[in-house]
Structure 1
Amino acid sequence: MNRRSGLSVRVKLTLSYAGFLMLAGALLLAAIGLFLVREGWLQTNPEGAWRATPGTTFVRGFAPTAAAVMLFLLGFGLLGGWILAGRMLAPLTRITDATRMATNGSLSHRIRLPGRRDEFRELADAFDTMLARLEAHVAEQRRFAANASHELRTPLAISKSLLDVAHNDPTHEPGKLVDRLRTVNARAIDLTEALLLLSRAEQRSFTRERVDLSLLAEEATEVLLPLAEKRGVTIETSGDITPALGSPALLLQLTTNLVHNAIVHNVPERGVVRVRTRVHHTGAVLTVENTGEHVPPELVPTLTEPFQRGTERVHSDRAGVGLGLAIVETLTHAHDGTLTLTPRPAGGLRVTVELPPAAPHSRT
């Protein structure tokens, strides 16, 4: 925003302080003058002109002194106001310098304003908190961009290698090449769609309406039932009508991701996935838990990070695009909900999504 230049806050405070001091001095002198009139030191004739009294000598001596006092108050007010304004605005200067540094891209510094709490220190603390969150967000975005570039480069590199092999070996069977290229291409498409879904969810560019989580759980279970049967995993679904407010498509994606993750990372041939929905006094709750390998508690916070599959999964046939739980977390936050991951003592994971309740017949 273009603004015309004006007086600085320090100059305004100085002039305000000096003006207030001059006003106080003028009122004081006026009160003294009124006192002199009432006591008879000054009198007026019927025509309204001042006339001398026995105190004329005192009055004539008082006027120059009053003028000198006013001049002294003016100078003292300007000097004192300038010094006091500078001391009062010193924290604001530090905050302004920090803002300029942040504007230039430096997010690692902090103001850390010393002293007891007041308005300036609360502003500085709030600014430091904002810088910390912004720095963490930027670092996360950079890490995400680097991981996404790496993940997208992998299928492209594989495709190039397959094409180079086919070009250098004319006797290579084309059917196998096509099948492998189709698999690699499908993985690249899945990854791209997952990245687009993440972007859409983070922008919250969707329409909210009343949905029933129990129906979404049944739909996701039905879609993934063939995969569960192939892996020998049993799916158990239970729950009453669980109304929530959000995007049906995105919440279905959230539920599908959870159920798919529970099926894939499970005990082969004898695994179990339990999907439950219920209404809690704080909102609508969706819980998906599965049997499986023991999950160390220190590993749980990393499971929702993009492209984090666990070292034991990266090179297995179960490795997906690495965005399943990251998408779940993003979709949950986009719907103003909370996501909780809890390791099961017997192995596996329990994932709980709690969404705000939907008012009856609410629709936006």
Structure 2
Amino acid sequence: MPRRAGMSARLKLTLSYAGIVVFSGILLLAAVGLFLLRYVPDAQIVADIFVPNRSDLLRAFVPVAGAVMVVLIALGLGGGWLLAGRMLAPLDRISDAAKLATQGSLSHRVALEGPRDEFRDLADVFDSMLEQLEAQVAEQQRFAANASHELRTPLAISQTMLEVARTDPDRDVDALISRLQEVNARAIELTEALLLLSRAERRSFTREVVDLSLLAEEAVEALLPLADRRGVAVEVGGAAAPVLGSSALLQQLVTNLVLNAIVHNLPAGGAVAVRTHATPHAVALVVENTGEVLPAYRVATLTEPFQRGAERTRDEDHAGVGLGLAIAQRITQAHGGSLVLTPRADGGLIVTVWLPHPYPSPLG
């Protein structure tokens, strides 16, 4: 059902202000009439000079009181209208910004000036919300564009291979099938990574107490053959690190970090160290690897989707989809933690994941 148009907030405030002024005037006039005129007798006062009685005073007082009430009503309405407009001006600016936001313009800001009050706090919160929305929309648009490009690539490769094979009488069917299988496997890997990233962002998972140190050992054990083929020495250790979260997602987090450290390492003689430790209020997973020297500006972009770092290339052993660190960061954020990337002075990267301790110490 359509909503009926009611009075504006400015009109309501105006009538409220005018009502308070008029009511105050009535009370004042009533006080004069009740507590002053009551002491004046209504009978004819005999004196050498004219002395008005109560009736005389009322006849003189009532017209003046009526005129005063008219003035008070006018002042209440006019002053109330101006004051209401001045008070509601910040809300008008916030409303205009909200209308622009609904039209897709998230770059506009209220930027309310003046002393800090309730309206200023509301405007600042609204500006902060717009800023976060703008950043999220920009990230989603960039992610959608990158994802479309990444998904289009294997499909285009498959189509090209099929078209070439159709016109080539000497085609090698076994080689074609093998190549198509590789391309299809990459498309599936990318799709699964996108689904995992979406699941982490929605935070739709059951939480339980999980020990990161055990997950780290499992990840290293599973990836040890890959590390051996690449000549990377992997070391794992540390104290128990219990966290509250999804065992599957946290296992994916640890696996992504260890895999990333193994793949993006030195061509020969590389090393990876995986450690866990706990503080009274948080637990940490640290994955450190050797590798090329990474500048700080490039490290800051590694958690963006489809970023593969400096000169990171795909090979037959591990193609990668550029979502490893992006997924790790989303999973960390979904568990209320933070992921910190620090470049090593000698080359390589230190990835530190901080997660809340499920049993924080009251004395910590």
TM-score w.r.t. the length of structure 2 is 0.92
How much has 1:257 moved relative to structure 2? 0.2
Q: Is structure 2 residue 279 aligned with structure 1 residue 294?
A: no
Q: Is structure 2 residue 161 aligned with structure 1 residue 154?
A: no
Q: Is structure 2 residue 250 aligned with structure 1 residue 251?
A: yes
Moved more, 325-334 or 125-134: 125-134
* 1:180 counterpart residue number: 179
TM-score w.r.t. the length of structure 1 is 0.92
How much has 1:111 moved relative to structure 2? 1.6
Q: Kindly indicate whether the alpha-carbon contact (under 8 Å) linking 2:299 and 2:309 is maintained by their aligned counterparts in 1.
A: no
Using a 3 Å threshold, how does the CA distance of structure 1 residues 245 and 315 change in structure 2: closer, same or farther?
closer
* 2:337 counterpart residue number: 337
Q: Is structure 2 residue 330 aligned with structure 1 residue 359?
A: no
Using a 3 Å threshold, how does the CA distance of structure 1 residues 220 and 115 change in structure 2: closer, same or farther?
same
Residue aligned with 2:36, SS: helix
Distance (Å, rounded) in 1 between the aligned partners of 2:180 and 2:42: 111
Distance (Å, rounded) in 1 between the aligned partners of 2:2 and 2:335: 38
How much has 1:68 moved relative to structure 2? 1.4
What is the one-letter code of the residue matched to 1:142? Q
Q: Kindly indicate whether the alpha-carbon contact (under 8 Å) linking 2:42 and 2:54 is maintained by their aligned counterparts in 1.
A: no
Q: Kindly indicate whether the alpha-carbon contact (under 8 Å) linking 2:288 and 2:350 is maintained by their aligned counterparts in 1.
A: yes
Q: Kindly indicate whether the alpha-carbon contact (under 8 Å) linking 1:41 and 1:59 is maintained by their aligned counterparts in 2.
A: no
What is the one-letter code of the residue matched to 1:24? S
How much has 1:131 moved relative to structure 2? 1.0
How much has 1:261 moved relative to structure 2? 0.3
Distance (Å, rounded) in 2 between the aligned partners of 1:353 and 1:4: 54
What is the one-letter code of the residue matched to 1:148? A
What is the one-letter code of the residue matched to 1:245? L
Q: Is structure 2 residue 98 aligned with structure 1 residue 99?
A: yes
Distance (Å, rounded) in 2 between the aligned partners of 1:167 and 1:161: 10
* 1:321 counterpart residue number: 321
Q: For residues 86-125 of structure 1, what are the structure 2 equivalents within 5 Å? A: 86-125=85-124
Cα distance per residue 1:184-218 (max 9 Å; x no partner)? 11111110000000011100110000111111001
Q: Kindly indicate whether the alpha-carbon contact (under 8 Å) linking 1:228 and 1:234 is maintained by their aligned counterparts in 2.
A: yes
Q: Kindly indicate whether the alpha-carbon contact (under 8 Å) linking 2:298 and 2:310 is maintained by their aligned counterparts in 1.
A: no
Structure 1 stretches lacking a partner, 5+ long: 45-51
Q: Kindly indicate whether the alpha-carbon contact (under 8 Å) linking 1:274 and 1:289 is maintained by their aligned counterparts in 2.
A: yes
Identity fraction in percent: 63
Distance (Å, rounded) in 1 between the aligned partners of 2:235 and 2:163: 47
* 2:276 counterpart residue number: 277
Using a 3 Å threshold, how does the CA distance of structure 1 residues 315 and 274 change in structure 2: closer, same or farther?
closer
* 1:207 counterpart residue number: 206
Using a 3 Å threshold, how does the CA distance of structure 1 residues 232 and 315 change in structure 2: closer, same or farther?
closer
How much has 1:43 moved relative to structure 2? 5.0
Using a 3 Å threshold, how does the CA distance of structure 1 residues 331 and 270 change in structure 2: closer, same or farther?
same
Moved more, 2-11 or 161-170: 2-11
Report how many residues are paired: 352
Distance (Å, rounded) in 1 between the aligned partners of 2:112 and 2:52: 62
Q: Kindly indicate whether the alpha-carbon contact (under 8 Å) linking 2:314 and 2:320 is maintained by their aligned counterparts in 1.
A: no
How much has 1:358 moved relative to structure 2? 1.4
What is the one-letter code of the residue matched to 1:27? L
What is the one-letter code of the residue matched to 1:109? H
* 1:189 counterpart residue number: 188
What is the one-letter code of the residue matched to 2:224? L
How much has 1:27 moved relative to structure 2? 1.2
What is the one-letter code of the residue matched to 1:190? E
Residue aligned with 2:243, SS: strand
Residue aligned with 2:114, SS: coil
Cα distance per residue 1:214-266 (max 9 Å; x no partner)? 11001101110110011011110101221110000000000000000000011
Q: Is structure 2 residue 84 aligned with structure 1 residue 69?
A: no
Q: Kindly indicate whether the alpha-carbon contact (under 8 Å) linking 1:313 and 1:319 is maintained by their aligned counterparts in 2.
A: no
Residue aligned with 2:300, SS: helix
Residue aligned with 1:171, SS: coil
Distance (Å, rounded) in 1 between the aligned partners of 2:274 and 2:2: 57
Distance (Å, rounded) in 2 between the aligned partners of 1:131 and 1:42: 71
Q: Kindly indicate whether the alpha-carbon contact (under 8 Å) linking 2:37 and 2:54 is maintained by their aligned counterparts in 1.
A: no
Q: Kindly indicate whether the alpha-carbon contact (under 8 Å) linking 1:17 and 1:78 is maintained by their aligned counterparts in 2.
A: yes
How much has 1:2 moved relative to structure 2? 5.7
Moved more, 321-330 or 263-272: 263-272
* 2:33 counterpart residue number: 33
Cα distance per residue 1:158-196 (max 9 Å; x no partner)? 111111121111211111111111111111111000000
Q: How well do the aligned residues superpose, as a CA RMSD in angstroms?
A: 1.8
Using a 3 Å threshold, how does the CA distance of structure 1 residues 87 and 296 change in structure 2: closer, same or farther?
same
What is the one-letter code of the residue matched to 1:113? L
